[in-house]
Amino acid sequence: MPEPSSLSLTSDLIDYINRSPSPYHAVSETRRRLLDAGFSQLDERESWNLKPGGRAFVIRAGGTIAAFITGTLGPEESGVLMIGAHTDSPNLRVKPLPDIKNHGYVQVGVETYGGLLRSTWMDRDLSIAGRVATSKGDIHLVRFDSPLCRISNVAIHLNRTVNTDGLKLNPQKHLIPTLGLDHEDEDGLRGLLARRLNEEGINAEADTLTGLELCLYDTQAGTLGGADNEFINTARLDNLASCHAALTALLDSGEATEHTRMIVLYDHEEVGSQSQAGAKGRFVLHLLERIAHVYGDVTPENQARTAARSLLVSADMAHAVHPNYSDKHDQQHLPKMGQGPVIKINVNQSYATDAVGTAFFEKACQTCGFSAQRFVSRNDMGCGSTIGPISAARIGIRTVDVGNPMLSMHSCRETAGTGDVAKMIAVMTHILRAGNVPPPEA
């Protein structure tokens, strides 16, 4: 039975995910929680009046957000403790000209985003959420709550070999959601969007909705599952569970310390991170420079000293051993649900963790009263990657890749362990508070 503290944090996680059907909604929910906790929003265009011990956050391109508490000492003396995660999940995205009419049906043209498990999107009650940019220059979050659309499987009578040959889905032909029946008088998806915005009190006309960044999402809310509520069943655990843990840890990490504490929740991880908002961009480097200004002149020397005194915990979900597919794991490295955070290691640097980082994270876990698990992939199977190695190379700081164990990664509906939520938050909170970054030559 999960502990009561774990259950309340888990229901808060489910609430966070339910409120975040798109990366833009995840940023909006994160922003709401930061504002509630007294953080102030900074505008990248303006000059910032930060002070030591200040609490602030910055949003980049709608889907990336960084929040920080500046230290009482300059970062070249005390370093920056960072936690990174990502706000995006594999899904279906609406195409720019989405209205399709086909055999009496109205459908929505979609692109696949990231490495989604296609079959899991079939026969689910889907809806649409994201943001729209208008020709008047404003941007609005938009979300439909009702099950607007569905991608129907073809009946087994018309696909007799599906159970022996597997379900093969061509993403251009077979993943097109149906929005309704063709009534001739419809004004398309933009008409629906305009009506939805008007319901929210936003004056919008269909022909002004020029830019669309819209995700399909499953309307079934997240829930606890299993005989003893051991499981969390919901969409987007990868990687909103890590975003929620990082945010909760920062908010729990107390008064300002000597070192600066920061969380960065990036968009575009699932598609390689190469964007203005992604981990391959200069977002964090800009932030570190601007934070350094609080304490005096920024020089190349003190920027290098800051990097050498800093550490990033890159948090992304890990593969728990699957009872029906346990041979997919190296038999010495079988992360189990409910048994705590997983340190992810790959000698070919698909994960950035080194020996010193491993020891650092394990010690932090033990201080919190539990151990970390270990993951390496089989030699004959590929290994996923994440923002860890990208950030380690880009910023030049020691990075530890970690994550909570889960099943069904990249499914429309995933599963993780209730008992792991509080542990990850506890170790992140401890790391943000404690500092004690090992020296770079170690």
Q: Which is nearer to Zn ion, 88 or 213 (CB)?
A: 88
Q: Which is nearer to Zn ion, 243 or 262 (CB)?
A: 243
- CB of residue 387 vs Zn ion: minimum separation in angstroms? 9
414 touching Zn ion, by CB under 5 A:
no
For the chain, the residue count is 442
Beta strands in 25-120 (DSSP E): 40-42, 55-60, 64-69, 80-86, 91-102, 105-113
Size of interface with Zn ion, in residues (CB under 5 A)? 3
239 touching Zn ion, by CB under 5 A:
yes
Residues 6+ apart with CB under 8 A from 228: 1, 2
- CB of residue 385 vs Zn ion: minimum separation in angstroms? 9
- CB of residue 362 vs Zn ion: minimum separation in angstroms? 22
User: What is the spatial distance between Cα 288 and Cα 260, in angstroms, rounded to a whole number?
Assistant: 10
Region of 291 (left: φ > 0; alpha: ψ -120 to 50; beta: rest) is: alpha
- CB of residue 292 vs Zn ion: minimum separation in angstroms? 30
Q: Which is nearer to Zn ion, 218 or 238 (CB)?
A: 238
Q: Which is nearer to Zn ion, 209 or 421 (CB)?
A: 421
Measured between alpha carbons, how far is residue 210 from residues 134, 138, 193, 200 in Å?
Answer: 5, 11, 11, 19
Taking the mean position of all CA atoms in its chain, how far away is CA 246?
10
Map residues 279-318 to x or -, x wherever contact with Zn ion holds by CB under 5 A. -------------------------------------x--
Residues 49-68 that bind Zn ion (CB under 5 A): none
- CB of residue 316 vs Zn ion: minimum separation in angstroms? 4
Q: Which is nearer to Zn ion, 384 or 440 (CB)?
A: 384
Pick from 76, 88, 238, 420: which binds Zn ion (CB under 5 A)? 238
Answer yes or no: are the C-beta atoms of 215 and 144 closer than 8 Å. no
Name the nearest CA neighbour of 282 among 293, 291, 270, 274.
274
- CB of residue 257 vs Zn ion: minimum separation in angstroms? 29
Residue with the two structure tokens 């000059």: 47
Residues that bind Zn ion in the complex, under the rule CB under 5 A: 238-239, 316
